[in-house]
Structure 1
Amino acid sequence: MVYVILPGFLLALGLSGVQIGAVVTASLLGSAITTILVGIYGHQVAPARLLAMAALLMTATGVAFGFASSFIALLFIGVIGTMNPSAGDVSAFLPLEQAGLSASVTDDQRTAMFALYNLSGALVGSIGALCAAAPLWFVHRQQLSDLFGYRITFIVYTFAGLIVFMIYRRMSVSAQAKPTGNKSVLGDSRRLVFKLAALFSLDSFGGGFAVQSIFALWIYRRFDLSVSTLGVVFFATGVLSAISSLISVRIAKRIGLVRTMVFTHIPASVLLIGVALSPNVWLAVTLFIVRGLLSQMDVPVRTSYVMAVVKPSERAAAASITNVPRSLASALPPIAAGWMLDRSQFAWPLLICATCKIIYDFLLLWQFRHIRPPEEQ
């Protein structure tokens, strides 16, 4: 919900494209910093307690954004909060989730499990996108300002954080149990994981030029699309992304994890180029929705691959090492994207995103096509 209205909220406050990009960057940097802290100290704290702490931070972030007005305050909140300006897999707690879920299933079930994990997230996110315009509809009926409607959305975000906190507080005893305190470290897999982290960082660097909030900013300015229409667009892409998670499992069983990542990712990048070059809003929206069926197919497969090519004892460390650089890499481009959109309505950020992702795909296929997970050997 928030990533749909965030550009409109910041525009209503009078921020420029560069400033909006800076707020997005600050939010992504905040996620990266928290990911680092979880990687360092997470082995000392029960997973359920960490997740509950994240929910409280989410609640505080919603309150702070709901009342903030100055650019500096928004930057500060972005860095220390949990606001996610994208609907993607940028989360400080992915390392804990990925390692824990991998340990709960066999090798043959791992990819399907991550597909269901992403399916649920995509469906809930798409419903949130569809509901994003509801507060604006309400304030228009009451003849109040759009800015007030945006602030109501952040209050809804706050209550969502409280609900999540209560859910985590009621998690099972095993999830509440304190870990052994032995920090997960990489052994023989170190070089392999570092190469994967470098490639994933290139992918995320490109993705940072077209995170949902930046895409929303571009389409707001280029085609003057309303929040309600954009919410429907993101809902449709979210549903297709959810469906694609299940399809990716079948494809991976036929052609392998690496080829599934590459052969679904490249067409998605080509469609993004088509979005950037579209002469009218309906063609741009249509291509963007179709892209939703392909763009996230690699996510459960990628996670499954990382967990498969390392030892079980190395999974938490591998997840942290591959996720932290990704978070940092995606945090840098939004400022540059905002600067570009301040100077031109042409979709340079989208073209840069697609180019980086295509380069990443070819490098991934070249370097890892012969390194197979246990279920493919």
Structure 2
Amino acid sequence: MTTEYGGERRSTGSSTIALLYAARTARGLADGFAAIVLPAYLVELGYSPFQVGVVATGALLGTAILTLTVGWLGSYRPLRALLLAGALIMVLTGVGFATLDSFLLLVILAFVGTINPSSGDIGIFVPLEHAMLASDVEDERRTLIFARYSLVGGLSSAVGALLATAPDLFVSFDVPRLTALKVMFLIYAGLGLVGAGLYRLLPDTRPAANEQASRSALGPSRGIVYRLAALFSVDAFAGGFAVQSLVALWLFERFEMSISAASLFFFWSNTLAAFSYPVAARLSRRFGLINTMVFTHIPSSICLIVASVVPDLTAVLALLSIRAALSQMDVPTRTSYVMAVVTPEERPAAASMTAVPRSLASSVSPVLAGAMLSTAFSGLPLLICGSLKVAYDVALLLSFRHIKPPEENRSISDPKSSITRARST
């Protein structure tokens, strides 16, 4: 079936949403254990924390470039074909990590592949799936749809983190540890195949004719998108100091946690993050999208700052758990806000343009964090991350508190708060 988006004909029905949720589940499982297995695998190969940071930086930098490309192509090419191409890259990434051990080749593979060193949903799939989800959803249901999408991803990532205990299980059956870690990357490739099968069932969603003739993927919302992208890049740069792979490595190095113990912790922290998504949707209906993003984010950043200086492992894990329960509430609200303040035909490009600076900015900080982990104060990356995120939240509130999405505008009579007026400025 061939459908259109951005025009009168729309593509997203309940079956399409279910398929996208299922594909997000497969990716979440893969990302959940890959973020923990990756640093353990690199350390097992004999690489230093700094080199682990280099691989993480390569992964995030390559993700940014690929995301920008597919976001632009998503305004002109069938979304299903682009999602299938992404799934193929995921398969090749898993096979590559399972078979290569040269540091240079691993950095190149991280750059061109889909490996995700963070706990968040980033990568080439994001703008395409977001555009399909938003294409046929009422304004009042948009945040809820994205909250459920994030919930599915968060829960699957939590289960994936728990699966990172599998190498220890394999070792107990006399499988060499390095081999056990390589098997996990083959499982990663297998989940890429599952995703490809699900994407194959999606409708052949194509841009409307007027979009194909457009010279620019972004139109009247360009100014808002660029301003959001600039602020999101600050948040992402901060987050790069505490991506999940590096937090896991910090726990390994500072507190001598085992990979099984770390996996169990990240299972619960990711579970807490997952259940925060529907809570965020409820809060946003009462307090607004921007307020929900800001006033849940700031306390989580304070928890991270305190965790960086606390010497007790139990207290650190408690603070990181509180942070996990709060820090991801901005994910569905942020996505919903971006989709709300642009026109339908701009959505793939807007999702890409706001995601790419995040990946670019976050690609710089892991290598810096990796070097800091070897210093006397190994908690410095967490301290920097939390401090920068507080500054980002304040800037976001001051810059966008008056630009309301349609569902919030309908309850406000002041025309000065309309998105149309905001775009014109």
The answer to whether the aligner puts 1:147 opposite 2:171 as a matched pair is no
Q: CA deviation at 1:179?
A: 6.1
Q: Secondary structure at the match of 1:43?
A: coil
Q: Aligned residues, how many?
A: 374
Please give the alpha-carbon distance, in whole angstroms, between the structure 1 residues aligned to 2:136 and 2:152.
18
Q: What are the within-5 Å matches in structure 2 for residues 133-172 of structure 1?
A: 133-142=165-174, 144-172=175-203
State the Cα deviation string for residues 97-148 of structure 1 (Å, max 9, x = none).
Answer: 2222112201101110110010000111110100111132112322x33212
Task: Return the alpha-carbon distance in structure 1 between the equivalents of residues 406 and 277 of structure 2.
Answer: 21
Report what 1:70 is aligned to. Answer: 102
Deviating above 6 A after TM superposition, structure 1's stretches of 4 or more consecutive aligned residues are none
Q: Which residue of 1 aligns with 2:394?
A: 362
Of 240-249 and 86-95, the range deviating more from structure 2: 86-95
Does the Cα contact within 8 Å between 2:38 and 2:117 map onto a contact in 1? yes
Distance in structure 2 (CA, Å) of the matches to 1:74 and 1:179? 40
2:111 matched residue in structure 1 = 79
Any residues of structure 2 matched to 1:227-376 within 5 Å, and which? 227-376=259-408
Q: CA deviation at 1:338?
A: 0.5
Is 1:201 the equivalent of 2:226?
A: no
1:248 to partner: Cα distance: 0.5
C-alpha distance in 1, partners of 2:222/2:162?
42
CA–CA separation in structure 2 for the residues paired with 1:345 and 1:231: 24
Residue aligning to 1:53: 85
* 1:321-344 superposed Cα distances (whole Å, 9 cap, x missing partner): 111111101111011011111223
Within the candidate set 136, 139, 156, 1:107 is matched to: 139
Please point out which of 69, 78, 88 is paired with 2:120. Answer: 88
Deviation at 1:345, TM superposition (A): 5.0
Gaps in structure 2 of 5+ consecutive residues: 1-32, 410-425
Counterpart among 156, 161, 167 of residue 124 in structure 1:
156
Cα displacement (A) at 1:200: 0.3
Distance in 2 of aligned mates of 1:339 and 1:179: 48
Distance in 2 (alpha carbons) for counterparts of 1:168 and 1:44: 18
Provide the secondary structure at the position in 2 that maps to 1:343: coil
Contact kept in structure 2, 1:209 and 1:353, CA below 8 Å: yes
Tell me the secondary structure at the aligned position of residue 374 of structure 2: helix
Q: 2:202 & 2:79 partners in 1: Cα distance?
A: 10
Contact 1:207–1:353 (Cα < 8 Å) also in 2? yes
Aligned AA (2:195): V
1:24 — aligned with what?
56
Contact map agreement 2:34 2:185 (CA 8 A) in 1: yes
Deviation at 1:90, TM superposition (A): 1.2
AA partner of residue 284 (structure 1): V
CA contact (8 A) 1:265 1:361 kept: yes
The AA in structure 2 aligned to 1:274 is V
- Output the amino acid matched with 2:53: G
* Cα distance, 1:54 vs structure 2: 1.0
| Secondary structure, counterpart of 1:82 in structure 2 | coil
Distance change (3 Å), C-alpha of 1:113 and 1:15: same
* Contact 1:258–1:369 (CA under 8 A) maintained in structure 2: yes
Alpha-carbon deviation of 1:198? Answer: 0.5
Taking the aligned partners of 1:249 and 1:82, their CA distance within structure 2 comes to 29
Contact 2:289–2:333 (CA<8 Å) still a contact in 1?
Answer: yes
**Alignment RMSD:** 1.5
- Tell which deviates more after alignment, 265-274 or 177-186: 177-186
CA–CA separation in structure 1 for the residues paired with 2:221 and 2:77: 25
Asked if residue 187 in structure 1 is aligned to residue 237 in structure 2, the reply is no
State the shift of 1:228 in Å.
0.8
Q: TM-score, normalised by structure 2?
A: 0.85
Moved more, 157-166 or 182-191: 182-191
Q: Give yes or no for contact 1:275–1:283 (8 Å, CA) kept in 2.
A: yes
- Per the TM alignment, residue 273 of structure 1 is displaced from its structure 2 partner at its CA by 1.2
The one-letter code matched in structure 1 to 2:154 is: A
Structure 1 stretches lacking a partner, 5+ long: none
Task: Note closer, same or farther for the CA distance 1:108–1:146 as it changes in structure 2 (3 Å cut).
Answer: same
Contact 1:218 1:345 in 2 (8 A): no
TM-score by length of 1: 0.96
Q: Deviations over 1:157-188 (max 9, x none)?
A: 1111111112222223x44x576434563333
- Offset of 1:41 from its aligned partner? 2.5
Identity of aligned residues (%): 47
Tell whether the 8 Å contact from 1:43 to 1:182 is kept in structure 2 after alignment. no
In 2: Cα distance, 1:202 partner to 1:291 partner: 19
Secondary structure at the aligned position of 1:104 is classed as coil
Amino acid at match of 1:164: G
Residues 182 and 348 (structure 1 numbering): CA distance in 2 closer, same or farther, change over 3 Å? farther
